[in-house]
A and B are shown apart, each in its own frame.
Chain A
Amino acid sequence: MPLELIDRPDLDADHKEGLWTLNFGPQHPATHTTLRLVLQLDGEMVMDAEPDIGFLHSGFEKLGEVLDFNQYVTIVDRMNYISPLANEIAWHHAVEKLLNIELTARCKYIRTIFAELMRIHDHLLCTGTCVLDLGGATAFMYAFNEREYIYEICERASGQRFHTSYTRVGGLLYDVTDDWIEMVRKFCRTFPKAYRDFAGLVMKNRIFVERTKGVGVLTREEAIAGGATGPVARASGVARDLRRDEPYLAYEDFDFDICAAQGGDCYARFQVRMMEILESLKIIEQAIENLPAGPIYSAGTGKETIPDKREVYRSIEGLIHHFESIMPNRQMPAPKESIYAATESPNGELGYYIVGDGTFRAYRARTRPPSLLHFSLFSRMIKGCMLSDVVAVLGSINIIAAELDR
């Protein structure tokens, strides 16, 4: 028995005798990326778990103080890398709130469609790999097939399949084309069948249900006091969704439901994610059919938004506009204020606390990462579970290391 355990007052004498320490990670297939757990085991039962994180801390927030509001979007992309566009939308949502910019209707709709596509994207990977970790490789293959199609949609709109860097302050990099709209329509038509296949493989699979039901329970009180948001909180009965409670983008225009469950266990979290995929599909269907025409850049003073590339190359006004919005000493000054703005990212409340200092870059760009708070609750969830449940709980709270460590 390790010496440092002798002085732990919260463990009683009986347990201290038989406890042994297991090191889980940082390189382990079920951690997906890089995190480490130091588990105290009594036989196969987990008595205590101490997470050790920071294996992917790469200084995102320091870079946010160096790059301007448009440049930093390439960095936030790499934060929650299984739904990159959701990060971009959250970042520019906060920037636009600081600069007090109102978006055009078309831009709002396109961003909403992308935010919901990213929710499907994220939940597919989360549920697919959760099943993979529990021993079912087929569902993972089904999920990745659909994800590849969403990658193609992103690539058609922005030119990059993974890290799109698609949003800009007050608008988007490019407008979408008609064949992009057709692609999204096709996705809405074909996805329900793939979803049925995927859900049929998993939702009533007895092995999966028994390995996740009643495992890793998080109560409602713990979820609230611990700062849990998103699917993790909703699975514990906190029916709160920023899309409904603090509406942003175009969410007020659409009819959708908030998915919540009561159990608070892994299966409830899994169910919430699976239901949210369908709600997201509902929003995309409504948005793509009612996509308004018009410009994608908001008409403000002109300085805060970058001009259309065609204008830059073909007209002197466009070139001057480009110069004014790119040169560091001519850019629009941000007010000397601080702001916190959050969006409902697939993982939970993804917020940015930005301090402006009179230039077009953030003096402080703080990310409020949902993964960090969820993972801090992990040791509460896992206490009293079996060793094999560790992967089930890790998979169900969807820890993304780059977002966790930044």
Chain B
Amino acid sequence: MTNTTASSDVGDLQSRLSGEVPGVSLAWSTYQDQTRVVVPAADLLSVLQASKKIGFDQLTDITCVDLLEYGNATDRFEVVYLLLNIETSERLTLKTYLNEPDLTIPSATSVWFGADWLEREVYDMYGIIFAGHPNFKRLLLPQEFQSFPLRKDYPVKGRGERHNFPVITRAES
């Protein structure tokens, strides 16, 4: 089997993306075969549009990390976008940092419509608000649920929500 992966140079990728969005400060780093770039939250949408323009045509995943207990991290939330170029199998990880109380970033649904449910899930678990999302509500948990369970200050066993139901006995059924 021949490997058709055309692994392009990181420097090449840097210049391509920076050429599309001049004036935006991008912080690049690599670990193993991963190329990561940190984007300021204000410029996120333009960078996402630019990365689609240079060939990243699939949004693999959107996720978030709560950095509350993470070593000496200064920011609270890290929103992560995993992008993929279908033709060349090139991957790019975009990161942006958010802090309370302003947890709003622009929605990527206008760029890739597959972002729809992924953004709703991030909101469900972390409470990040994606401005401009067409149908913005909780995805997995019940709509009346109050907390954001994947935040580090939420206990693993919950706050008793799981057992807040009426009991049906044999005599009532």
Contact = CB atoms under 8 A, between A and B. Distances in A.
B5 A368 contact: no
A116 B170 CA distance: 47
Interface string A338-363: 11101000000101010101100001
Nearest to A242: B89
Given A238-B86, A351-B60, A364 B65 contact: yes
A335 B32 CA distance: 12
Contacts of A336: 71
A349 B60 contact: yes
Interface string A59-79: 101110010000000000000
Q: Is the interface of A mostly helix, strand, loop or mixed?
A: mixed
Interface stretch (A126-134, A220-228, A290-298): A220-228
A68 to B, nearest CB: 15
A4 interface: no
B37 interface: no
Interface size class of A (residues with CB under 8 A): 35 or more
B58 A338 contact: no
B26 to A, nearest CB: 17
Contacts, number: 116
A138 interface: no
B82 to A, nearest CB: 6
B80 to A, nearest CB: 7
A189 interface: no
Contact of A62 (B34, B70, B86, B156): B156
Given A53-B139, A256-B1, A376-B114, A353 B82 contact: yes
A240 interface: yes
A336 B71 CA distance: 9
B142 interface: yes
B173 interface: no
A174 interface: no
A217 B7 CA distance: 33
B47 interface: no
Contact of B112 (A225, A254, A349, A405): A225
B105 interface: no
B53 to A, nearest CB: 14
A372 B116 CA distance: 11
Contacts of B63: 353, 364, 366, 368
A132 to B, nearest CB: 28
A100 to B, nearest CB: 7
Interface residues of B, number: 41
Contacts of B60: 227, 340, 342, 349, 351, 368
B54 to A, nearest CB: 15
A357 B78 CA distance: 14
Interface string A199-240: 000000000000000000000000011111000000000101
A300 interface: no
A252 B57 contact: no
A227 B58 contact: yes
B61 interface: yes
Interface in B29-63: 31-32, 34, 36, 57-61, 63
B4 interface: yes
Contacts of B65: 338, 355, 363-364
A100 B114 contact: no
A225 B57 contact: yes
Contact of A368 (B66, B82, B93): B82
Contact of B1 (A62, A224, A255): A255
A97 interface: yes
B149 interface: yes
A373 interface: yes
B149 A59 contact: yes
Most chain A CB inside 10 Å of its own CB: which residue of B58, B93, B125: B58
Contacts of B31: 335, 337-339
A254 B82 contact: no
Interface stretch (A243-251, A313-321, A323-331): A243-251
B135 to A, nearest CB: 9
Interface of A: 53-54, 57, 59, 61-63, 66, 97, 100, 224-228, 238, 240, 244-247, 251-252, 254-256, 335-340, 342, 349, 351, 353, 355, 357-358, 363-364, 366, 368, 372-373, 375-377, 405-406
21 contacts: A54-B138, A224-B86, A225-B57, A227-B58, A228-B114, A244-B3, A245-B4, A245-B89, A255-B1, A335-B31, A336-B71, A338-B93, A351-B60, A353-B80, A357-B70, A364-B63, A364-B66, A368-B60, A372-B121, A376-B116, A405-B140
Closest 10 CB pairs of A and B: A227-B114, A54-B140, A226-B114, A376-B117, A57-B140, A368-B61, A366-B63, A245-B89, A364-B65, A337-B31
